[in-house]
Each structure stands twice: as C-alpha cells, then as structure tokens.
Amino acid sequence: MGLEQRSRPRLLRRWCDPPVGWVAYERRPAEPLIDLSLLRSRALITTGIAQVAAQGIIALNFVLLSFLAQVPRPLGHTYGFGMSVSELARYTAPSGVISMAMGFVVGLVARRRGARLPLWVAFVFAGAGSFVLGGWHDQHWQVQIGYFVYAIGGGALSAAIPIQVVDAVPAEKQAVSAGMVNLLGAIGAGLFVQLAFVILNAHVGAVIDGQLIYTGTGFALAYYFTAAVSLVGLVATLAMRHGTRDSTVLVDD
C-alpha cells in the first residue's frame, strides 16, 4: 500500500511534466514554433475547431470506405463488394475530381463573399454524404452517391480552412497560425478515426484468420458519428466572426 501511494505521484509527474514543460518552453522564445498566445483569439479557436472536425471527417470517410468496399459480401452480409485496392478507384477517382474542382469554386466564392459561406456549406455536404452512407451502403450506386456528396464537402473544406486562417490573424502571424491549425487537424484525424474504431469494435460480427469483420450496424453508427462531427464543425463555423467579405482581423476578439 505504501509503495503504491509513493509511486502514484511519480506516475502523475511522468504524465504531467512533458506537457507542462512544453507549455513553459513555448512561452520563452520571442518567435515560438507554436504561439500559445494566439489561442486567446476567438477567430483562431473557431478555425482550429473547424479544422479538427474537417480533417476528422476526411480521414473517417476514406478509412470507412476502404473497409466497406473491400470486405466480401458473404462476410459483410449487408455490405461489402470484395473490391481490390485498384478497383476502389471506382469511388475515389470521381470524388477526387470533384474535390479538386471545389478548390476553384471556393476560391471564386471566397473572393466575392469570403470563405465562411463555402465553409459552412462544405460541412453541410460532408455531413449529408456521411449520413447517406450510414443509412444506405448495400448497393454500389448508393455508396457512389453518398461518397460523391461527401467529396463536394471534403474538397471545399480543404480549400476554405486555409483561407479562414489567413483571415483570422495578422499577416505576421499567418505562418505560425497555419502550423498550429494543421497540427490540430492531424490530432483530429487521429482522434476521430480511433473513436470510430471504438464504435466498430463494439459491433464485431466475426473473426476470420485474425481479421475482424464488423457488422453493418457498426458501419452505420460510424458514419452517423462522422455526420455528428460535421455538425460540430458547422457550429464552429457559424460562431465565426471572420471569413466574410467585410470582416476585419481581430486577434483578441
């Protein structure tokens, strides 16, 4: 008992010291790699939340589609097409084209109306596509439509958020802010994919040669979770004060 009580503070220090030390270190340099003072800005916080949600949505849709399409139908029962990696391009290639096209569309709209409008529209499309895939994924055409709708939103998300970062901070802070937002996006992608697999692992239908085969219900819930992440991003976007044509940059708003 005494040994357990003595080891507990050491364990707490082991987990707490690195982040505390990192925060203290980042406050010292005149030009830090991660400028924590920028987190006082509502504009950057809302943009960061939107980026976390956006990268989570993008990662989730790609990972879930890979499983959904490649599992053989006899194993998936209500889903699965037994596709190879190259055959998966039937879904990803058309969606990649529309995603690239959305970059041009977002640029044109942002020039006239600001980037916030295409950003919240992007979350609507990404959420709608994810919701469609959650409810209907047993036929090729259903997956193609759902993933195509998502791709409209996914492409617009990738194009709109960098513009929002530029609009959120002064010119001299744009580089470090972009790095911070990209870091948050990477965290969001990893976090939400792991949470999706928590959902899937709670709905395992079979284990074949050590490979988990998830149920259709698990995939439906994972896609609905993705749609919920889109809602979080949409709320963050609606809370933004920047990103409109007449907006001004306010670091401490």
- Tell me 221's DSSP state: H
Give me the residue label for tokens 């901070």.
169
| Local structure of 29: helix, strand or coil | coil
Give me the residue label for tokens 């259903």.
142
56 against 21, higher pLDDT: 56
Question: What whole-number percentage of the chain has pLDDT above 90?
Answer: 62
pLDDT of 116-174, one tens digit each?
A: 999 999 999 999 999 999 999 999 999 999 999 999 999 999 999 999 988 888 877 78
How confident is the model over 229-249, as a mean pLDDT?
84
Q: What is the pLDDT of residue 26?
A: 55
pTM of the full structure: 0.84
Alpha-carbon distance of 154 to 78, in angstroms, equals 26
| 8 Å CB contact between 213 and 71 | yes
Alpha-carbon distance of 107 to 146, in angstroms, equals 24
Q: What is the pLDDT of residue 169?
A: 81
